[in-house]
A and B are shown apart, each in its own frame.
Chain A
Amino acid sequence: MSTPVTGAAKVPSAEPAPTEGDLPMVDQPAVSFVEIETLRAREFIPAAKEALSSMALEKGQAEVIRPVFNWAGRNSLFPLHWGLACCAIEFAAAFGARWDAERFGVVPRSSPRQCDLMIVNGTVTWKVAHKLITLYEQMPDPKWVIAMGNCATGGGPFRTAYSVVPGVDKLVPVDVYIAGCPPRPEALLDGILRLEQLIRDRRE
């Protein structure tokens, strides 16, 4: 274990002093990282709370708390694990080994109570419409909706069919539309990253 570095004592060494431009010289930070690393978990939370409280007093509460919540929310988007049609195949591929959407913190959950993102991946029929609305209402706030593919966006090739909802925005508010029939997993990841941009700019 290394002892905490205070930076006060400079031990003269036998080596020649480095000339300017030879090595990057960094000033000692006000709070040493070593000190933070030596904090125990039960000490870390009060320290972080104190730091945030002082920042909130200094800059105003909304300026500090909202970015923290946005940062936490956009890095842990939990989509609902369900599939409506063939877009669900691409949805599944996006969470497989090749594209691995979990590296963005996107983890499908099987219960709408644990989700904050609904990815509508397929053709929405009138028969399933009220079930979709029920699932959306079961999700806790704040929540977002991605319309994946042409069917969820506007009905797609089945727009004039007697059983198809012409766009899921007739039922729930949609944040991001992804074009494609079906969109590739890269497009789904792009849509998720654009949704993260929206959450980053979110102001209550």
Chain B
Amino acid sequence: MVGEDIGERLAGHWGTDRLHIEPFPGTAGKVRFDPALVLDVLRVMRDELQFAHLAMVAGIDWEKHREVLYALWSDERKQYILLSADIPAEAAHIESASSIYPSANWHEREAWELVGITFDHHPDLRHLLTPDGYKFHPLLRSFKLHEPETLEVKRRDV
């Protein structure tokens, strides 16, 4: 079920050329937006449309470009909504959402180290699952197996 009021509210803010909503099964819809708008869209989602919970931030490698996916949950509407932004693979940058949703912190760290999407102004962009100094982004399609066997293990002097 597409939330018509969501589409109207978003179109009222930015029009339909930089942002449009399409149906997506099981959710209130999938919003594709210009990556430059990410903080504004998320703030409208949280403050005006009652999507108070950021459930997931994911990154997808489509080789030509990469996609950042946000899943929001609303307790009032009992619905999920997906937000997606396409960013070019050669300059995979997007603004960090952790100033609006603090739960984005670790999700963005994971998306950064596995898919290689850099989140600007992230408070703590360190490795989460792979060790410090890990040079690869292992969930990219260009990644080859057996490369990590050459990884040098260093003692971390704490």
C-alpha gap A163/B153 in the complex (Å): 12
C-alpha gap A198/B113 in the complex (Å): 44
Least CB separation from A134: chain B residue: B155
Interface string of B121-157 (1 = CB under 8 A from A): 0000000011100101010000101111101011110
C-alpha gap A28/B20 in the complex (Å): 103
Interface string of A118-146 (1 = CB under 8 A from B): 00000000110110011000000000000
C-alpha gap A130/B155 in the complex (Å): 5
Task: List the A side residues contacting B138 at CB < 8 Å.
Answer: 162-163
Contact, CB under 8 Å: B146 / A130: no
Given contacts A126-B130, A127-B130, A127-B131, contact A163 B156 (CB under 8 A): no
Q: Is the interface of A mostly helix, strand, loop or mixed?
A: helix
Given contacts A163-B129, A163-B130, A163-B148, contact A126 B153 (CB under 8 A): yes
> Does A166 sit at the interface, judged by CB under 8 A?
yes
> Does A3 sit at the interface, judged by CB under 8 A?
no
Among A129, A160, A162, A166, the residue within 8 A (CB) of B153 is A129
Least CB separation from A132: chain B residue: B153
C-alpha gap A133/B143 in the complex (Å): 28
Task: List the B side residues contacting A171 at CB < 8 Å.
Answer: 153
Contact, CB under 8 Å: B154 / A127: no
Minimum distance in angstroms from A44 CB to a CB of chain B: 46
C-alpha gap A170/B146 in the complex (Å): 15
Task: List the B side residues contacting A134 at CB < 8 Å.
Answer: 155
Contact, CB under 8 Å: A160 / B145: yes
Contact, CB under 8 Å: A133 / B155: yes
Q: How large is the interface on A (under 10, 10 to 19, 20 to 34, 35 or more residues)?
A: 10 to 19
Q: Is the interface of B mostly helix, strand, loop or mixed?
A: loop
Between B145, B153, B156, the greatest number of chain A beta carbons within 10 A of the residue's beta carbon is seen for B153
Contact, CB under 8 Å: B154 / A162: no
Task: List the A side residues contacting B149 at CB < 8 Å.
Answer: 166
Least CB separation from B149: chain A residue: A166
Task: List the A side residues contacting B154 at CB < 8 Å.
Answer: 130
Between A129, A162, A170, the greatest number of chain B beta carbons within 10 A of the residue's beta carbon is seen for A162
Contact, CB under 8 Å: B131 / A129: yes
Contact, CB under 8 Å: B145 / A126: no
Task: List the A side residues contacting B145 at CB < 8 Å.
Answer: 160, 162
C-alpha gap A160/B146 in the complex (Å): 6
C-alpha gap A160/B155 in the complex (Å): 23
Given contacts A160-B145, A162-B145, contact A127 B153 (CB under 8 A): no
Contact, CB under 8 Å: A130 / B156: yes
Task: List the A side residues contacting B147 at CB < 8 Å.
Answer: 162
Among A127, A129, A162, the residue within 8 A (CB) of B136 is A162
Residue numbers of B with Cβ under 8 A of A are 129-131, 134, 136, 138, 143, 145-149, 151, 153-156
21 A–B contacts from the bound complex (CB under 8 Å) = A126-B134, A126-B151, A126-B153, A129-B153, A130-B153, A133-B153, A133-B155, A134-B155, A160-B145, A160-B146, A162-B130, A162-B138, A162-B143, A162-B145, A162-B147, A162-B148, A163-B129, A163-B130, A163-B148, A166-B149, A170-B153
Per CB-CB distance, the 7 closest pairs between chain A and chain B, nearest first, are A162-B138, A126-B131, A160-B145, A127-B131, A129-B153, A162-B148, A130-B156
